[in-house]
Amino acid sequence: MAQEYLTVTALTKYLKRKFDVDPYLEKVYLTGEISNFRLRPNHQYFSLKDDGAKISAVMFKGAFSKLKFQPEEGMKVFVVGRISLYEASGNYQIYVEQMEPDGIGALYQAYEQLKAKLDKEGLFLAPKKNLPKYPKKIAVLTSPSGAVIRDIMTTVKRRYPIAEITLFPTVVQGDNAAGDVVTNIARVEAIGDFDTMIIGRGGGSIEDLWPFNEEKVARAIFAAKTPIISSVGHETDTTIADLVADVRAATPTAAAELAVPVLSDEILKIKEKQTRLEQAFMHQLALKKERYERLSASYVLRQPERLYEAQSIKLDQLTQRLLQSTQNRLFEEERKVMQLNHNLRQFNPKNRVNELKQQQNYLQERLEKSMKQLFQQKQQSFQNIVQSLDLLSPLKIMGRGYSYTTKEEKVIKSVEEIAPSDQLVIHYQDGQVEAAVTKITSEEK
């Protein structure tokens, strides 16, 4: 009987089926150390290991988004998931559905990680905005049904009743709380006329207070232009919102006390300052009155003309000096004008112009004469050169019976350049003759 062989795919599917139907592998509680972790935008792929073994792990985007902390390389964790086989590679792996840090709560881990991140960015140490001393409008972000708003309203009414309180009903616990806090901060900022903002809620567990430990709430508080007082939880509770806010209050009542002064105290301070101002004014008035009486009795006010007697005499002296200086200056300028007129008549340019004109006429005549002589010389020289060229012209020589011979358009100068049967061209003055060489006779040198 022939043995039937399985394909790799068939064997892998069989093994995967074994993994998937095994009730012990459907939900596995596993502890180990995270290895090969690198944050990815969608699904997360890493390993879990201990001293003796290692297993591949996958955590899909939906499950990973629910984590309250950030997994890190080397972190010991508790995970819950199912074991299955990945057919493409034939490797078995755990598909993680839940994860918590080993030895520390997930929320506390997330709190410490976010706190370290924001501290590194400088959100905690950045300059805080000062609370206005006399606020006109205060925005309160809290639950409309809790004790927080009642404590704040009671305290403000008792201390500073002229301040206007506007409640922005806000969810302060649960999954939707962080988003609602951010939305209401944006609403207060959009309105833009609030002097102070109070964000508060009562105490509770870390889970109850967790919305105020989320990054988006911290960044919304940091970015707000309105000064913010954070009153979240009890005095022993410290949230990220408390660290980022401009002022932290231990209780809602303390937040209200920080937000507004005591009106009666301020009125008393105003009255004290008013009394001091009146006393200072009366003192200054008495000093001014005394000075006025002293100055009124002085000779200057009784005989004010004595103030400007010396200046009047000095004015007369300066006037005389100005008149004398003006006359001297005028005389000097008249003398200069007369001298210039004399010089102008003596150096009249008309004579000089006539002299230069005669010189120009003389030079013009010389130029014309020189040009005429030069032209005649050049003309005679040209005629001589033409006559010389005519005497040297080969055509003129050929007219006396001379000729020249060419072979292949090259002038023959010696019989040594000719061979029997060569075709020659003999050039005459009035034409040319083609001839064949029949005999060559060379003369002895």
Q: What is the pLDDT of residues 319-376, one digit of tens each?
A: 888 998 888 888 888 888 888 887 777 777 777 777 788 888 888 888 888 898 988 9
Contact 172, 211 (CB under 8 A): yes
Q: How much is the pLDDT for 138?
A: 95
Q: What's the CATH class of domain 8-102?
A: mainly beta
Q: How much is the pLDDT for 105?
A: 60
Closest CA to 261 of 196, 194, 200: 196
pLDDT < 50 positions in the chain: none
**Which H, E and C letters describe the chain, residue by residue?**
CCCCCCCHHHHHHHHHHHHHHCHHHHCEEEEEEEECCCCCCCCEEEEEECCCCEEEEEECHHHHCCCCCCCCCCCEEEEEEEEEEECCCCEEEEEEEEEEECCCCHHHHHHHHHHHHHHHHCCCCCCCCCCCCCCCEEEEEECCCCHHHHHHHHHHHHHCCCCEEEEEECCCCCCCHHHHHHHHHHHHHHHCCCCEEEEEECCCCCCCCHHHHCHHHHHHHHHCCCCEEEEECCCCCCCHHHHHCCEECCCHHHHHHHHCCCHHHHHHHHHHHHHHHHHHHHHHHHHHHHHHHHHHCCHHHHCHHHHCHHHHHHHHHHHHHHHHHHHHHHHHHHHHHHHHHHHHHHCCHHHHHHHHHHHHHHHHHHHHHHHHHHHHHHHHHHHHHHHHHHHHCHHHHHCCCCCEEEECCEECCCHHHCCCCCEEEEEECCEEEEEECCCCCCCCC
The Cα–Cα gap between 211 and 191 comes to 24
**Torsion (CA) 120, 124, 127, 130 in degrees, nearest 10:** 170
CATH 3.40.50.261 maps onto the chain at 107-261
Contact 395, 429 (CB under 8 A): yes
| Side chain identity, residue 3 | Q
User: In the beta sheet, which residues pair with residue 271?
Assistant: none
Q: Is the pTM of this model over 0.85?
A: no
Q: How much is the pLDDT for 23?
A: 86
Mean pLDDT of the chain: 86
Q: How much is the pLDDT for 343?
A: 77
pLDDT tens-place string over residues 393-418: 666 666 666 777 888 888 888 887 88
Q: How much is the pLDDT for 305?
A: 67
Closest CA to 201 of 260, 150, 135, 131: 150
Q: How much is the pLDDT for 427?
A: 84
CATH code, residues 107-261: 3.40.50.261
Give the whole-number percent of the chain exceeding pLDDT 90. Answer: 31
Q: How much is the pLDDT for 111?
A: 83
Q: How much is the pLDDT for 338?
A: 86
CATH 2.40.50.140 maps onto the chain at 8-102
User: In the beta sheet, which residues pair with residue 85?
Assistant: 92
165 is written with which tokens?
């309180």
The Cα–Cα gap between 336 and 240 comes to 94
